[in-house]
Structure formats: C-alpha cells, structure tokens
Amino acid sequence: DAKTTQPPSMDCAEGRAANLPCNHSTISGNEYVYWYRQIHSQGPQYIIHGLKNNETNEMASLIITEDRKSSTLILPHATLRDTAVYYCIVRGLYNFNKFYFGSGTKLNVKP
C-alpha cells in the first residue's frame, strides 16, 4: 500500500546535516510529499510537506526533484534528540485521500 521507498536505517554524526532520501516514483500530479517522524514511544510528529517546490521551515528542508519521483529531507544540524523513525508519505489533500505510512528510516544520531 505504501507508495514510498526509504532506506531502513541511517547514521549521522551530531552537528552534521542528516539527509534522508525517499523514492516515490509513482507519485501523481496532485499528490503532496509529507514527512513525519516518530520518536520512541511517542505518536508521529509532522515535519514538513511540499508539492514540487523546495520547502524550508524551522525544523527541516525538503528538496523535491524536478520529476518529483524522489525527495530528500534535510535536518541541517542533527542533534541527539533527532534520533527517530522518519516517514515519507505521499497523498492528496482531499478527505478521501488515504494516508499510508511505510516502514520509514530509523535515523541514529551519534555523539
């Protein structure tokens, strides 16, 4: 059901940028790319979303390729508190569009 492919795990040194890739080769024109993360024993937390332009907020940056078949979430200065499972999701904005979580990427930020 999930429309995205992510690596199961990644490591990142504290203070360095974490770049998390996501493949969504079957994305349709009206579907957005969303990123959520889930810290251990908590509910998922929204990070960022975008359609085709790159987006930035206080948490992260989202880079979407021109063909929209893949994207990268960038945490510019990873901290130990960024250790979590990161989910890349594609969906439309209407209330009948389903929201599928895949298995995500476990990001391990190391001191």
Partner 1 sequence: EAGVAQSPRYKIIEKRQSVAFWCNPISGHATLYWYQQILGQGPKLLIQFQNNGVVDDSQLPKDRFSAERLKGVDSTLKIQPAKLEDSAVYLCASSLVKGRVIQETQYFGPGTRLLVL
Give the interface with partner 1 as residue ranges (CB under 8 A): 2, 32, 34, 36, 42-46, 49, 85, 87, 93-104
Q: CB-wise, 14 or 51, nearer to partner 1?
A: 51
CA distance 99 to 95: 10
Tokens of 90: 């594609």
Q: CB-wise, 32 or 63, nearer to partner 1?
A: 32
Strands 105-110 and 9-13: parallel
Provide, rounded to whole angstroms, the least separation between the CB of residue 69 and partner 1. Answer: 21
Provide, rounded to whole angstroms, the least separation between the CB of residue 43 and partner 1. Answer: 3
Angle at 41 between CA 38 and CA 43, to 5 degrees: 45
Provide, rounded to whole angstroms, the least separation between the CB of residue 95 and partner 1. Answer: 5
Tokens of 76: 């510019």
Q: Which of helix, strand or coil describes residue 81?
A: helix
Q: CB-wise, 28 or 45, nearer to partner 1?
A: 45
Provide, rounded to whole angstroms, the least separation between the CB of residue 41 and partner 1. Answer: 8
Q: CB-wise, 53 or 111, nearer to partner 1?
A: 53
| Identity of the residue numbered 91 | R
CA distance 54 to 48: 11
